[in-house]
Amino acid sequence: MTTTFPSEAPATPAPRAPGLVERTRLRWEAIPLRARLVGIMVVLLAAGLALTGFASQYVLKDYLVGKVDKQLEQSLQPVGASAVNNDLRRVSDRAQSWGLAEFAIKVCYDGGGIGDDVSPQSSAPALVEMTSDQANSTEAEVFSVSSEDGAVTWRAVASGWKNDLTGQTGSVQIALPLDDVDDAVNRLRILIVIFGLLVTAMFASLGWLAIRRSFKPLTEVEETAAAIAAGDLSRRVPEHPASTEVGRLTTSLNGMLAQIESAFRSREASEQRTRRFAADASHELRTPLASIRGFAELYRQGAVSEPEDVARTMSRIEDESRRMGTLVEDLLLLARLDEQRPARSEPVDLAVLAGDAVHDARGLAPDRQVRLVGLSDKQGPEPAVVTGDDNRLRQVVANLLANAVRHTPSGSPIEVAVGKWENVAVLEVRDHGEGLTPEHAAKVFERFYRVDASRARHQGGGSGLGLSIVAAVISSHHGRVGVTSTAGGGATFRVELPLATTAVASEVEALDLDTPDEPDVPDADGTGTAPSAKPSS
């Protein structure tokens, strides 16, 4: 029997420690950007000053050494003549006239022997013995030679000579020290170092101030982001010229922040609508559900036994169920409108909708005088074509008319006016009842708001959603609705919607969708039938 033991899983290798380059990169990236920029600027400036200093020293030294070489070349002929005449002492006396403050001269004879040697007491050049041929082979080119103690560098030139009287030949060498040149170069080097340090410090300070000022917009962006992270979504970055990089950045950031704020506001509004929908639905459904439960409990306990009582109880249960169903439909419609789902978009003539609504209202309330008129008394209704959902706009007109019929006396007339005003289509429903107080007018479009709060729901009062549906539908069509007082008393509900484009409006008018004549619908003392309408409560 063979037993197989599971093999051990390979150990996870320990992470490799970062190398020198990686550690340097990490440390560099940990430095604030302002400090990095100043550091880069200082390093580049110091490098530029150093290169300039080296170049200046090189040029100056080359120039001064060239002057020394020129002095040597100019002094070579008179010194050679003096060597031929063995009169170097006279050379020393005339050195000042040649421009030689400190010099060294060495004369050598062919066949051996050294002639006069004129050199300074200290740091004399280590000039070697030369024959005339060796001296002439240098072709009078200047060369460098160190002092005997190595402290000073000299520039020297050599030349052969010949005495025509005696036939004696030899060489002469003349040298000039470079200590003055070295002193000048050293002084320049010190000045360059001092000046470079001062300039670097000054530019580092000015650069820090300039970079700090240039980074001020980024600091504002940082502060704005911190404020937004803390919950202040209304903060914005100050605008800068769009021609600059910072300006383009701030413009993009403000646009992004506006979208973020809008998204948060939309989410909050959606959450509020959801909570309000749940609260309103539970509040409004509680009454019909309680009624249905109560009637059902009475029937179950046998408290309702007579056929007439049973029929009345079942009728009440049916009425409350119907009312509850209507309420649920209205709540669902408002929920769909709150979700801002795209509705149907088609050409709709408000004059046609108003004519149909007037026709339906006359049929439902034959004792009421309902008329279709124009916006002004001088003209009748005119076509007003908009783009929207025909069914929902019909519900708007039906709800406004139902509201006017419900809340005005029986003999009070109602007018529905349609027309155009500037660039909008206008529909008005005017009644001549008691009107609305400013307090009621400000809240009349709120959900479940009732002007007559004392009226019981089961006594014919609406649910308080009809005008809320009107406001939601008009808002989804990018329009607006409001209420004002009617001249002489009453309330006027005014709906404004954007007119359709000219091409669409012309197409609708070409289809003969003109405002229909007021139908011959029976009024309070007439006869006949009319279609029915089903407005929301």
3-state secondary structure 486-529: CCCCCEEEEEEEEECCHHHHHHHHHCCCCCCCCCCCCCCCCCCC
286/324 same-domain check = yes
What angle do the packed helices 88-98 and 33-84 form, to 10 degrees? 140
166/296 same-domain check = no
Q: What is the CATH number of the domain that holds 132?
A: 3.30.450.20
The pLDDT, as a whole number, for residue 457 is: 45
Classify residue 199: in a domain, yes or no.
Answer: yes
The Cα 369–Cα 342 span in angstroms is: 37
The Cα 86–Cα 428 span in angstroms is: 134
User: What confidence tens digit (pLDDT) does each residue in 232-263 have?
Assistant: 877 887 887 888 877 888 888 888 888 888 88
Below-50 pLDDT ranges, the chain: 1, 454-460, 503, 512-534, 537
Beta bridge partners of 169: 162
Q: Which domain holds residue 280?
A: 234-341
Residue 141 in tokens: 């080119």
CB-based contacts of 387, cutoff 8 Å, min separation 6: 345, 346, 347, 348, 498, 500, 501, 504
The domain boundary residue, chosen from 293, 326, 341: 341
The domain boundary residue, chosen from 341, 358, 382: 341
The pLDDT, as a whole number, for residue 412 is: 87
CA of 87: how far to CAs of 157, 159, 164, 488, in Å? 19, 17, 16, 140
320/368 same-domain check = no
243/186 same-domain check = no
61/73 same-domain check = yes
Classify residue 226: in a domain, yes or no.
Answer: no
Classify residue 6: in a domain, yes or no.
Answer: no
CA of 519: how far to CAs of 200, 371, 523, in Å? 95, 10, 11
The pLDDT, as a whole number, for residue 287 is: 76
The pLDDT, as a whole number, for residue 515 is: 44
Q: What is the CATH number of the domain that holds 323?
A: 1.10.287.130
Let me know the angle formed at the C-alpha of 17 by 12 and 23, rounded to the nearest 5 degrees: 150
What angle do the packed helices 390-406 and 350-364 form, to 10 degrees? 40
199/120 same-domain check = yes
Residue 410 contacts residue 368 (beta carbons within 8 Å): yes
196/52 same-domain check = yes
137/39 same-domain check = yes
419/477 same-domain check = yes
The pLDDT, as a whole number, for residue 11 is: 56
Classify each residue of 155-181 as buried b or exposed e, where b means 16 or more C-beta atoms within 10 Å of its C-beta: bbbbbbbeeeeeebbbbbbbbbbbeeb
CB atoms within 10 A of CB 365: 19
Classify residue 524: in a domain, yes or no.
Answer: no
Domain total of the chain: 3
The pLDDT, as a whole number, for residue 95 is: 58
469/492 same-domain check = yes
Beta bridge partners of 160: 171
Q: What 3-state class would DSSP assign to 358?
A: helix
Beta bridge partners of 496: 426, 480
Classify residue 467: in a domain, yes or no.
Answer: yes
The domain boundary residue, chosen from 341, 364, 395: 341
What are the backbone dihedrals phi and psi of residue 407, each rounded to the nearest 5 degrees, phi first? -110, 20
Q: Which long-range contacts (CB under 8 A, 24 or more apart) does 76-84 make?
A: 76/140, 76/157, 76/159, 76/172, 76/174, 79/105, 79/172, 79/174, 80/159, 80/161, 80/172, 83/107, 83/115, 83/116, 83/161, 83/170, 83/172, 84/161, 84/162, 84/163
In 259-340, beta strands by DSSP E: none
325/455 same-domain check = no
Q: What is the CATH number of the domain that holds 442?
A: 3.30.565.10
Give the residue among 357, 390, 373 at the shortest CA–CA distance from 535. 357
380/496 same-domain check = yes
Classify residue 527: in a domain, yes or no.
Answer: no
Classify residue 79: in a domain, yes or no.
Answer: yes
User: What confidence tens digit (pLDDT) does each residue in 391-443 have?
Assistant: 999 999 999 998 898 888 888 899 999 999 888 999 999 998 888 888 888 88
The pLDDT, as a whole number, for residue 495 is: 94
pTM over 0.85: no
CB-based contacts of 192, cutoff 8 Å, min separation 6: 49, 52, 53, 56, 57
Classify residue 534: in a domain, yes or no.
Answer: no
